[in-house]
Every structure is written in C-alpha cells, then in structure tokens.
Amino acid sequence: MKDSVIAAQQTPSAQRTTRDLTRAAISGWLGTAMEFMDFQLYSLAAAIVFNKIFFPDVSPAIGLIAAMATYGVGYVARLAGAVYFGRMGDRIGRKKVLYLTILLMGASTTLIGVLPTYATIGILAPVLLVVLRLIQGFGAGAEIAGATVMLAEYAPAHRRGLISSLVSLGTNSGTLAASGLWAVLLAVLTEEQLLSWGWRLPFLLSFGLMIFAVWLRRSLKESPVFEERPDVVDGVALHRDEVESAIAAADEHEGGVLATGIRQRKGKAFFLALGLRFGQAGNSGLIQTFLVGYIATNLAVGRSVPTDAILYGSLVGFATVPLIGLLGDRFGRRAVYLALSLLTVVLAFPVMLLITSGSTSGVMIGMVLGLNVGVLGLFSLESVTMAELFGSRTRFTQLALAKEIGGILATAIGPVLAATLTAVTGSWWPIAAMLVVYSLITCVSAFLAPETRGRDLVRLEDAV
C-alpha cells in the first residue's frame, strides 16, 4: 500500500492539450445546456399541454397542479442524484459519471416524447411520466456539478474563471433552445395538432443532441486533477482506512499530505458555498420565476413582456457571464463577489421601481439588469469559486450538494414567500427586500470566504 501511494504521488503532472481543453469545454457547456433544455421543455409542456393529455379526467386547475407536481418530483430526484453520483465521481473519476448523467437525462427526455397518453393507457400514462421525470432529475442532479468540476480541473489556473464560466452559459443556451422550440410549435401548429402529436417533437429532437453529447464524452480524457490526486491508485480513490494505513507507513512529508486532506474537519467550506449559492438561486427564483407571473398579473403591460425581458436578459448574459469570469481571474473571486452582491443590494429597489413603472421599457430594463447582475453574474463566479473552495477528495460530492440544497431551499421557498408577502402588503417592496436579503447572504459568505483564485486543485483538503 505504501509503495502504491508513493508511486501515485510521484506521477508526473497529467498533461492536456488545447484540443483536450476545448473538448472538455464543449462537453461541459453542452451537458449543462441539455440539462436546462430538458427541464425547460418539461416545465413548458407541463404548463401548456400535460394537464390535458395526462390528466384529462380532472378539472383544468387540478390537472395543472398535477402536471406541476410531476415537474416538482424532478427536484427531489436531483438531490438523490447529487449524493449518489457525487460520491461516485470522487471515487472513480469525473468522466465516467458525466457519461452516465448525460445518458440518463437524454434517454428519459426522449422517452417522454414516445409516452402513450391517458386516452391510450389510462392512469399508467401519468405514472410512467413521473418515473421518467424522476430518472431525468436523478441524472441532472450531478450534471452541472460534474461539468463545473471537470472544467475547473481542466483549466489553467490563470484562466480558470473564464473557462469555468462556460458551464453557466449552458443555462442560457438550454433555456433559449427550449423556449424557442415551444415558441415555434405554438406559432405554426393548431391546438389539435399540438395536443395530438406536436408536443412530442421537442422531446424527440433532444435525442440527436444526446447522441452527440455521448460521443463527445466517450472520447473525453479524465480530469488531470483526479489523475494527480495522491489518494488515487490505478484510477480509483482509496478508502479512508486504506489512506490511514498509508499515512502510518509513509514518511513525514508523504504522510502529512494525505493526513491533511483525510483528517480535516469538514463543514466550513460547505456552508460558505451554500451561502454563495443561496443568493444566486434565490434571486433567480424571484426574477426568473415569480416576477414573470407577478408582472403579467398585476401590471398593465402585455403578457409577453416579462418573458421577452427574460429572453433579452439571457441574450445579454452571453456577454455578462464570460466578462465576470475574466474579472474574477483578474481581481480575485472575493472582490468580484462582493461587488456584484452589493450592487444587487443597491439596485434592488430602483430595479423594482423600473419594473413596476407600468412602461414596457421600464420592465425590460429592470429585468435585464436584475437578471444579469443578481443572477447570471453571480452564477458565473459560482462555477469556479465552489470548485476552488473544496478539496479534490470530496469536491464533486460537496459541490453537487451545495448547489442542489441551496437551489431547493432558495428557489422553492422564495417565490412562495414573495407571493404571500405581496398579497398581504399589496405592494412590490417585499420583492425588493427579499433580493436585498438574498444578496446580503452571498455578500457575507464572500466576505468570510478565503480568496481561492489560483488555488492548487489537487490538494485534498478544503480551502478553509
């Protein structure tokens, strides 16, 4: 055991070419795009047609609730997938897990497109829909975390923020693709055509994207950081008792490297990451979910205005995300995190004044500003900072859990709380107040976190 661990520590640094890095970047972007496209395809289908074709024997309102409930089970499965695949990724490598997650997501999404409807097989139809939704969520729970880890571990340290931000661009790409597909269908098909066969097309079209993504990941090399880890022997991480035995047998330096990583008390980095995630996820739930319905219901503007604003904001995000990644590489993660979160605090009330002004231009400007500063900008930083906060031995697991737990808590609770507070007060100010609170949580977390720019990602211990 001692000899094998020493040999692993003395292995030369794993070399990766520009072509390898490009392949990893495309793979990470494509996987995240697929994840968000699959979920957006489903959420739009749940709102538009699933209540009619899978739950037709109940009232329209109950049918919509049932359709949305099947959407919600995917988030429960995401947490289970984060635990299962996160541990697997830390144990046997990032590449194998990313191959499995893309297969699960793509296959389940495609199969939704060939499901028989309630009219054909009765109650079994919605049951199968829920099963596929669970499988889809199970794979998605580790996809964005795995892609984030892989890109961060591939990227050169001086460009890690920029390259890792490509994962965040996948969210824009997937959301825009799904929204575009449904917009085309709604524009060219009659309701009868949409309900009979048209709704299947977006799900079936995802099959081609899955095949390309699977092919790309089959030829992707393993993360160089995983290969260089001192606790990895023959491509598999040693169990804790095996590492403890190696520590006892090794000399002071070799044993110290392993002991620092294996015996460190965990928790601080995880809760800091959770705080960083809470602001971005909370702001996203308010701006991208709650405000869309709030504007359409309470303001005298066209119902398409808020969705158009999200579309334009997402397009602007293709510039915002890499720019923030570059700034993080230039000035450090903490400085940019503090600046963005404080800017969101300062802009929260002015942005809501713009949005509630009643003018189309005010809604557009306010939504685009809020989305790019308080959501996409923070998301760009989140991609690299979380990876740098965690040690290589548990990076995949901790990152996946921080993303999923933070997302579920903030995104699930935020819109419900905002709806309650705006109903009680009859005003928009609680929305601005919640944006301030969420952003302050991220600000405090960034202030307490260490600067992680340029950190050696092979180290087994967390940054704090």
Can you give the pLDDT at residue 6?
46
3-class DSSP assignment, residue 220 = coil
Spatial distance between the Cα atoms of 49 and 197, rounded to a whole number of angstroms: 11
**Res. 214 pLDDT band, cuts 50 70 90:** confident
Can you give the pLDDT at residue 7?
46
> Which tens digits make up the pLDDT trace of 380-409?
999 899 999 999 999 999 999 999 999 888
Of 209, 167, 168, the residue nearest 24 (C-alpha): 167
Can you give the pLDDT at residue 72?
61
Asked if the model's pLDDT at residue 166 lies above 60, the reply is: yes
Which residues, including other chains, have CB under 8 Å from residue 196's CB and lie 6 or more apart?
none
Spatial distance between the Cα atoms of 379 and 370, rounded to a whole number of angstroms: 13
* Lowest mean per-residue pLDDT among 217-231, 249-263, 380-394: 249-263
Can you give the pLDDT at residue 71?
57
Report the pLDDT averaged over residues 243-247.
Answer: 82
Percent of the chain predicted with pLDDT > 90: 42
Asked if the model's pLDDT at residue 152 lies above 80, the reply is: yes
Asked if the model's pLDDT at residue 58 lies above 70, the reply is: no
Spatial distance between the Cα atoms of 44 and 4, rounded to a whole number of angstroms: 52
Q: Which residue has better confidence, 301 or 129?
A: 129
> Which tens digits make up the pLDDT trace of 309-353?
888 898 999 999 999 999 999 999 999 999 999 999 999 999 999
Q: Which residue has better confidence, 396 or 212?
A: 396
Spatial distance between the Cα atoms of 276 and 390, rounded to a whole number of angstroms: 13
**Res. 97 pLDDT band, cuts 50 70 90:** very high
Asked if the model's pLDDT at residue 11 lies above 50, the reply is: no
Spatial distance between the Cα atoms of 25 and 14, rounded to a whole number of angstroms: 17
DSSP H/E element including 233:
strand 232-233
Taking a C-beta distance cutoff of 8 angstroms, is the pair 286, 38 a contact? no
Q: Which residue has better confidence, 438 or 133?
A: 438
Per DSSP, the residues of 234-266 read TTEEPPHHHHHHHHHHS-HHHHHHHHHHHHSPP
DSSP H/E element including 195:
none
